[in-house]
Amino acid sequence: MKKTAIMQPYFFPYLGYFSLIKHTDLFVLFDTVQYIHHGWIERNRILKPQDGWLYIRVPRVKHHRETLIKDVRLDNRQDWRRSFFSQLEVYRKVAPHYHDVREMIATALDHPFDDIVSLNKTTLEATCAYLGFPRQMPVLSRMDLSLQRPQAPDEWALNICKALEGVEEYWNPPGGQSFFDRGKYQAAGLTLRFQEPRLVPYDQKRPTFEAGLSIIDVMMFNSPADTSRMLDAYELS
């Protein structure tokens, strides 16, 4: 458990998220903070039938503003799976790996999910298995950890790493560098790392490349082996 990352559970996130999973020893799904509407927990982006991109999403039950991620429930009164797979039809005639990817997703979604965390945990783990590096991702709210109360935003990860024991490095996406205090981590015997993925364009069978889309888009046009190799392109600071 030397290298650890802690991230909110996203819905079929982009390539960089999976690069962080692949290159750490433990990836914890962080679900004990407030749910933010219009983030990446309930939606992501794929190609539109013509130019540009559109959102894929799962519906949720309306909740209070202070609701934690772990308490967000899916609105299963809607046939959201049917709508979701209908949107994936844009890839049927152009993407060489459409059938394999669709089958993987269909298998992952073939469960009666009630909450968004369970859904995203299952799809994240299924995607990793498809790409050749199976992972089990513990959910923070379901772990029996005794955590100190954080006094600053950068102490959530710090206190979780300390409670886990055996963690030597904490890896984070590059966007959070501004509010992390390396000194706090060094004092706790932890090395703080920031992983910057290098997003290499690939052939989307259209004139203009749409960068940063869901991992679904990457897998549609690239084999599992090629997609996994893309995850190895990053810089560490």
Give the pLDDT mean for 211-234.
98
Q: 73: pLDDT confidence band, cut at 50, 70 and 90?
A: very high
Q: 50: pLDDT confidence band, cut at 50, 70 and 90?
A: confident
- The answer, yes or no, to whether residue 85 has pLDDT greater than 80, is yes
- State the pLDDT at residue 178: 85
- The answer, yes or no, to whether residue 150 has pLDDT greater than 80, is yes
- The answer, yes or no, to whether residue 3 has pLDDT greater than 90, is yes
Question: How far is residue 127 from each of residues 5, 15, 108, 192, 218, measured CA to CA in Å?
Answer: 17, 11, 9, 27, 12
Cα-Cα-Cα-Cα torsion 162, 166, 169, 170, nearest 10 degrees, comes to -40
Give the pLDDT mean for 175-182.
88
| The pair of three-digit structure tokens given for residue 18, joined into one six-digit string | 């999976």
- The answer, yes or no, to whether residue 118 has pLDDT greater than 80, is yes
Give the pLDDT mean for 165-187.
93
- The answer, yes or no, to whether residue 177 has pLDDT greater than 90, is no
Counting residues of the chain whose pLDDT is more than 90, the rounded percentage is 93
Extents of the domains making up the chain: 3-236
Q: 221: pLDDT confidence band, cut at 50, 70 and 90?
A: very high
- State the pLDDT at residue 219: 98
- pTM (2 decimals)? 0.96
Could you count the other beta carbons within 10 Å of the beta carbon of residue 129? 14
Question: How far is residue 37 from each of residues 14, 43, 69, 146, measured CA to CA in Å?
Answer: 18, 10, 10, 28
Counting residues of the chain whose pLDDT is more than 70, the rounded percentage is 100
219's CB contacts (< 8 A; 6+ apart) are: 97, 101, 127, 130, 131, 227
The strand pairing partners of 1, in sequence order, are none
Q: 175: pLDDT confidence band, cut at 50, 70 and 90?
A: confident
